[in-house]
Amino acid sequence: MYQTLLVTTENKTCIITLNRPDKLNALNQTLLSELKAAFTQALADSEVKSIIITGAGEKAFAAGADIQEFVGLDAQQASNLANNGHIIFGMIENSPKPVVAAVNGFALGGGCELAMACHLRIASENAKFGQPEVKLGLIPGYGGTQRLVQYIGKTKALELILTTDMITANDAYILGLVNYVVPQHELLNKCKEILAKIHAQSPNAVYLAIKSVNAYFDDNKNGFEEEIKNFGQCFTHNDFKEGVSAFLEKRKPNF
């Protein structure tokens, strides 16, 4: 039982709902540690094939880190706080199971950063994205200066971070920040529809594909070498035998 999350599992998808709607689902430390725990549990649960992260209510996915918790922090405490967020968001980004952000409203600051740590982002039409930290005398601290550049390029990333402008879901789509924009009442169904396609694939290959794509952005790895290694690894797994047999036998694979 969590104080700040709702967690349910439907059709092999764990849905984690950030549940502080009166604070626009702002990410306080309790929520972040509960998110880490719920996520760890979803990864360990063999009945769970994928994860959706969304926000409670119709207004916000998450309106950022909880600003109230910043009061009185010194530099070291603030760096520790940022580091903690990096660990959790890194865990999401490197998850072997696909993770979709169902962005149902404001995704600001840490909320935008959380959505960016997920593998796919589906936005409702009312969603708004932004990194407003410099307005507070801060910079993005949960990966925003890096992942926003990765997704939309330096030109627009710097504009959004420096002006603190919020962008609409449609603009986020045009910039390549989100995969789809749908009416709010269709948001979860759209996520589930995409995940149903992924559930039909080899979980091992899905994991190795995520790992290989992520290697592109990892300075400590050569992405091409990582791909070669992971390609070879596919051949050691039963999913490969099943996938190829199913193709040759003209049937659907059963992973």
Query: Which residues on neighbouring strands pair with residue 18, listed in sequence order?
Result: 5, 55
| Active-site residue, 47 included | no
| Active-site residue, 249 included | no
Catalytic one among 10, 34, 47, 133?
133
**Tokens 């979980």, located at residue:** 203
> Distance between CA 163 and CA 138 in Å, rounded?
13
Q: How far is the CB of 150 from ligand COA (least distance, A)?
A: 20
- Six-digit token string for 144: 């925003």
Q: What residues numbered 47-66 form the site for ligand COA, per CB under 6 A?
A: 63-66
Q: How far is the CB of 113 from ligand COA (least distance, A)?
A: 9
Q: Toward ligand COA, which CB reaches closer, 98 or 141?
A: 141
Count of CB atoms situated within 10 Å of the CB of 68: 9
- List, in order, residues 6 or more apart from 225 with CB less than 8 Å away: none
| Selected range binding ligand COA among 23-31, 181-189, 195-203, 229-237, rule: CB under 6 A | 23-31
Report the candidate in 115, 62, 119 with the shortest Cα–Cα distance to residue 93.
Answer: 119
Count of CB atoms situated within 10 Å of the CB of 42: 22
Q: How far is the CB of 183 from ligand COA (least distance, A)?
A: 21
Q: What residues numbered 26-45 form the site for ligand COA, per CB under 6 A?
A: 26
According to DSSP, the β-strands at 167-168 and 128-130 are: antiparallel
The H or E element containing residue 55 is strand 50-55
Q: How far is the CB of 166 from ligand COA (least distance, A)?
A: 8
- Six-digit token string for 2: 């969590």
Catalytic one among 34, 47, 58, 113?
113
Q: What residues numbered 116-135 form the site for ligand COA, per CB under 6 A?
A: 132-133
Q: Is 220 in the site for ligand COA (CB under 6 A)?
A: no
Binding site for ligand COA (CB under 6 A): 23-24, 26, 63-68, 106, 108-109, 132-133, 136
Q: Which residues are catalytic?
A: 113, 133
